[in-house]
Amino acid sequence: MDPLAYFNSELDDHAAVVARTHAQMEAPFLAMLDAWVKAIEGGHKILFFGNGGSAADAQHLSAELVIRFMEDRKPIAAIALNTDTSALTAGANDLGYDAVFARQIEALGQAGDIAVGFTTSGTSPNIVAALEMARSKGLVTCAFTGRDGGRMPDLADHCLIIPAQSTRRIQEMHITLGHMLCGALEQSLKLV
C-alpha cells in the first residue's frame, strides 16, 4: 500500500460521497429535522442507539443535545441507549443481544418520542428490533443508514440513506448530518 495514494484516494472517495449526499439528502434531512423539532416542542425526547462506531455517534449526538452544540441554551431531552453497560450486559445475557435496545425502548419510550437507529448495513438485528418496538409503541422512527437501506425504509418514518457502500464512508456522513441536525434543531427551537 502506498500511503500517499491511500491518503488521496480516501479523501477523494469521501468528497464524492459528500457530493452525492448534498445532491440527494436535502428532502429527507428537512423531514427528519421537522419531526425532531415537533417532538421536542411537544415535550418529548430523542432516543439514539447504534453498534460499534455507530454507538459512538449515538452518544456523541445525545451529548450535543443534552449539554450544548453551538450555543449555551436550555437542555434538549436526549439519551443514548448504548451507554448503560448494566442494561446492555444484562439484556444480552438474559434476553439476547438482539433485544438490548428494544427492551430499553419498551421501558423508556413514550408515544411521540423519537427513536433514532444508526446502522450502516440497515440490517443489524438489534436495530431492527428496536425500531419495531418503537413503532409498536407510537414513537416516531428514524434511521441513519446507507447502501440499499436494508430493512430501514420499511421500519423508519424518516430515513437518511447515505449513497455509499463502505461502512466508514457512511459513518462519516452520519456524523456530519447528525451534527447538522443538532445545529438546525438548536436554532429552530429558539432556546438560546
**Least distance in angstroms from the C-beta of 67 to ligand I22:** 23
Nearer to ligand I22, 76 or 100 (CB): 100
By the criterion CB under 6 A, which residues form the site for ligand I22?
51-54, 119-121, 124, 127, 167-168, 171
117 known ligand binder: no
Grid cell in block for residue 94: 438474559
**Closest separation in Å from C-beta 18 to ligand I22:** 17
- The enclosing H or E element of 3 equals helix 3-24
Q: Which residues, at least 6 apart from 133, have a Cβ–Cβ distance to it below 8 Å?
A: 102, 105, 106, 109
| Distance of alpha carbon 88 from alpha carbon 85, whole angstroms | 5
Among 14, 37, 53, 135, binds Zn ion (CB under 5 A): 53
- The answer to whether residues 14 and 157 touch, using CB atoms and an 8 Å cutoff, is no
- Asked if residue 8 belongs to a known ligand binding site, the reply is no
Question: Which residues make up each annotated binding site for substrate?
Answer: 51-53, 64, 93-94, 119-121, 124, 171
| Site of interaction with Zn ion (CB under 5 A) | 53
